[in-house]
Amino acid sequence: MNPRPSRVLASTALAAALTVGVLVSVSACSVFEQPGEEATDERVTASPAAPSSPAASATPSLTVTQAHDALLGPTELGERWSATQGGATWRDGLLKGRTDVADCQRLLDGLYAEDLLGKPKGAGAVVGLDESDSEAQLRYQVAAYGGPAEVDAKMAWLRTLPVKCAEFTSTDVRGGRQTVTVVPAKLPGVGDAREGLRMTMSGEGDPYGETSTLTLDFAAVRVGDRAVSLTNGGLGGAEEDFTNRAIELGTQRLQDVLAKKSPAPRPSARPSGRPSGRPSVRPSAGPSAGPSAGPSVRPSARQG
């Protein structure tokens, strides 16, 4: 009997088994490599070309130091202004109001949370300033966002509010009814894009039976993917010239900082003039740079 056919068959079987083993091994590697480290390495290797694109080089990122250097100082707006001494109670008492109009609720929530432009996606800095005459308070922010389109989309929404929220009713934390009006505000022609609003809220908000009127300006200017934004005002009113001066000076400071120029000298002269819409009766309340501890304190109280 010739053993050759058996050896041939055995060899053939062994080769087939090895072939199957190789195929199983290759198949297993393919399954784990596709979502694994080697696939990641390929993406990382291909990505260094991205930072050299014109769009990336034309819009340098904002550093924390630049954000702080671009802030307004206590003397920037004149002798009536100083570093904030704390928050006033109208923030919790009035801005935490509720309304059944979705866009108007979003406005109130954004003013209270101080994020009408959304959460910054990069570096940012904030400063609060108090005004001694009307006890207005100005909160000023410099921050980087996800891109120019993101900021422009928020500004486009803000532009609709004088129509959607021209007049609506909100209920404050004590159950008092507030009549709220929203009108557009004209800003200086600075930056790449800009938007401004003035909101007035009046009603039963004082726990001592006094009628109160809250006036707040909101303004924002985009510079590339960065923006300066502010709220200015309080129960004593909001002076339009201070709002505009802050936006004008602040935008120029940010542009100078980004261009690595020395910021413009800080002026000490106070702006003149008052807006015609100033309330005729001024409660002695002071506004806030941040949420207060609670609305149970008389509006004239400031919190440290």
Dihedral sign of CA atoms 208, 277, 156, 136 in order: negative
Q: For residue 15, what pLDDT is reported?
A: 44
Backbone angles phi, psi at 254, to 5 degrees: -65, -45
Bridge-based pairing of strands 81-83 and 212-223 is unpaired
Can you read off the two tokens belonging to residue 294? 């609670």
Residue 98, domain CATH: 3.40.1000.70
Range of the domain at 151: 60-275+282-303
The C-alpha atoms of residue 5 and residue 11 are separated, in whole angstroms, by 10
45 and 75 co-located in one domain: no
Q: For residue 3, what pLDDT is reported?
A: 47
Can you read off the two tokens belonging to residue 193? 């894009």
Among the listed residues 282, 32, 264, the one whose alpha carbon sits nearest the alpha carbon of residue 136: 282
204 and 101 co-located in one domain: yes
Alpha helix (H) ranges present in 47-101? 54-58, 64-69, 90
Q: For residue 6, what pLDDT is reported?
A: 45
Can you read off the two tokens belonging to residue 221? 């200017």
The C-alpha atoms of residue 172 and residue 151 are separated, in whole angstroms, by 30
Alpha helix (H) ranges present in 47-84? 54-58, 64-69
The C-alpha atoms of residue 62 and residue 226 are separated, in whole angstroms, by 7
Backbone angles phi, psi at 59, to 5 degrees: -125, 85
Backbone angles phi, psi at 291, to 5 degrees: -60, 140
Sheet arrangement for strand 193-203: 81-83, 124-131, 137-144, 226-234, 212-223, 193-203, 177-184, 167-171
Q: Are 75 and 146 in contact (CB under 8 A)?
A: no
39 and 185 co-located in one domain: no
115 and 200 co-located in one domain: yes
Q: For residue 266, what pLDDT is reported?
A: 52
The C-alpha atoms of residue 23 and residue 198 are separated, in whole angstroms, by 71
The C-alpha atoms of residue 230 and residue 246 are separated, in whole angstroms, by 8
Domain count, the chain: 2
158 and 210 co-located in one domain: yes
Among the listed residues 214, 211, 186, 212, the one whose alpha carbon sits nearest the alpha carbon of residue 199: 214
Residue 43: count of CB within 10 angstroms of its CB: 8
Q: For residue 293, what pLDDT is reported?
A: 32
156 and 37 co-located in one domain: no
224 and 286 co-located in one domain: yes
171 and 199 co-located in one domain: yes
80 and 17 co-located in one domain: no
The C-alpha atoms of residue 304 and residue 299 are separated, in whole angstroms, by 14
186 and 133 co-located in one domain: yes
35 and 174 co-located in one domain: no
Q: Are 73 and 266 in contact (CB under 8 A)?
A: yes
The C-alpha atoms of residue 283 and residue 206 are separated, in whole angstroms, by 10
Alpha helix (H) ranges present in 141-263? 148-164, 240-258
150 and 254 co-located in one domain: yes
Tens of each residue's pLDDT in the chain, 304 residues: 444 444 444 444 434 443 434 333 333 332 222 233 333 232 222 223 333 333 333 445 799 999 999 999 888 888 899 998 887 778 888 999 999 999 999 999 999 999 999 999 999 999 999 988 888 999 999 999 999 999 999 999 999 999 999 999 999 988 999 999 999 999 999 999 999 999 999 986 555 566 789 999 999 999 999 999 999 999 999 999 999 999 999 999 999 999 987 765 555 444 433 333 333 223 333 333 333 333 332 333 343 3
Q: Are 190 and 253 in contact (CB under 8 A)?
A: no
13 three-class SS: helix
